């Protein structure tokens, strides 16, 4: 008697030849459904035949591990590596007196005209100059020890930054997916490797990213729809690979 008790490991071969792999799934499934129409007749409307239509196969994956390549696959986009422009999130800085000059120091050098400063009371500060990461504040009423809110600024990211564009006119390309799990016996001893192969799947173009105040991993939900090859009605296969007896 065989049992399947392990979640799938997955390989996804993208159209450009790149391979995505994960063995950290928390949930994964294959659902294959066939549309059916009953043919009934006679006085008692007895079932005469069942006519089968299209078989629709869908694959769903849930992964607690963030993977930007997976998101790129579902957006139909490529990840571009290189310097970009980012926005700084709000932070507070303490004003220091540098030989009579009121200054704060930023984490990065802001791009021109992008720095927005506010007082502790919420009033915007307009009188300041920027040199690299140093900001000299000449606003009346600002003194050493005051707290200044750095509401935001734009800065240049490192050359190792990755950018993924979200384009409403781009959609996922076909891929190939391989799912593998383990068949065990009632004593939990491995019997065989079970590998499902689907030669043509379409990644779902929908995606959602949810976060919460509790610090916990945000699951990534992925879905794939199995497509028919152009020259065959065979959409995939299951290979059972027995373990050799010791």
pLDDT in tens, 26-52: 999 999 999 999 989 887 888 889 999
The shares of helix, strand and coil residues in the chain, as percent rounded to the nearest 5, are 5, 50, 45
- Between the CA atoms of 98, 99, 100 and 105, what dihedral angle is there, to the nearest 10 degrees? -10
Asked whether 177 and 225 are in contact (CB, 8 A), the reply is no
Q: For 103-158, how does the pLDDT look when each residue is reduced to its tens digit (9 = 90+)? A: 999 999 999 999 999 999 999 999 999 999 999 999 999 999 999 999 999 999 99
Instruction: Pull the structure tokens for residue 22.
Output: 């994960």
User: Please, what is the average pLDDT of the chain?
Assistant: 93
68: left (phi over 0), alpha (psi -120 to 50) or beta: alpha
- The answer to whether the Cα torsion of 169, 170, 174, 176 is positive or negative is negative
Chain center to CA of 30: 20
In terms of phi and psi (left: phi > 0; alpha: psi -120 to 50; beta: otherwise), the region of 100 is: left
Average pLDDT score over residue span 72-79: 94
pLDDT score recorded for residue 240: 96
Asked whether the predicted pLDDT for residue 245 surpasses 70, the reply is no
CA neighbor of 86 nearest in space, from 133, 151, 155 = 155
What pTM did the predictor assign?
0.83
Please report, for the chain, the start and end positions of each structural domain, with discontinuous segments joined by +.
3-77+166-242, 85-156
Tell me which of 3.40.50, 2.30.110, 3.30.70, 2.40.50 is the CATH number of domain 3-77+166-242. 2.30.110
Instruction: Kindly give, in sequence order, each residue whose CB lies less than 8 Å from that of residue 217, ignoring residues fewer than 6 positions away.
Output: 64, 65
């Amino acid at each position: 008697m065989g049992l399947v008790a392990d979640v799938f490991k997955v390989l996804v071969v993208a159209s450009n030849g790149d391979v995505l792999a994960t063995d950290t799934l928390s949930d994964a499934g294959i659902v294959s459904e066939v549309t059916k129409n009953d043919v009934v007749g006679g006085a008692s409307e007895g079932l005469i035949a069942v006519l089968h239509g299209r078989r629709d196969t869908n694959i769903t994956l849930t992964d607690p591990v963030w993977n930007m390549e997976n998101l790129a696959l579902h957006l139909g986009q490529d990840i571009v590596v290189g310097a970009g422009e980012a926005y700084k999130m709000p932070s507070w800085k303490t004003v220091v007196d540098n030989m009579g000059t009121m200054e704060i120091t930023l984490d990065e050098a802001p791009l021109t005209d992008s720095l927005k400063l506010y007082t502790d009371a919420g009033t915007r500060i307009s009188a300041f100059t920027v040199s690299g990461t140093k900001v000299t504040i000449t606003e009346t009423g600002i003194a050493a020890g005051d707290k200044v809110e750095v509401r935001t600024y734009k800065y240049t990211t490192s050359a190792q930054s990755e950018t993924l564009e979200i384009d409403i006119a781009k959609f996922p390309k076909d891929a190939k997916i391989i799912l593998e799990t383990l068949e065990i016996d009632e004593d939990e001893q491995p019997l065989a490797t079970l590998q499902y192969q689907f030669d043509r799947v379409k990644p779902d173009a929908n995606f959602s990213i949810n976060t919460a105040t509790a610090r916990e991993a945000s699951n990534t939900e992925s879905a794939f729809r199995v497509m028919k090859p152009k020259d065959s009605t065979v959409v995939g296969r299951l290979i059972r690979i027995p373990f050799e007896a010791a």
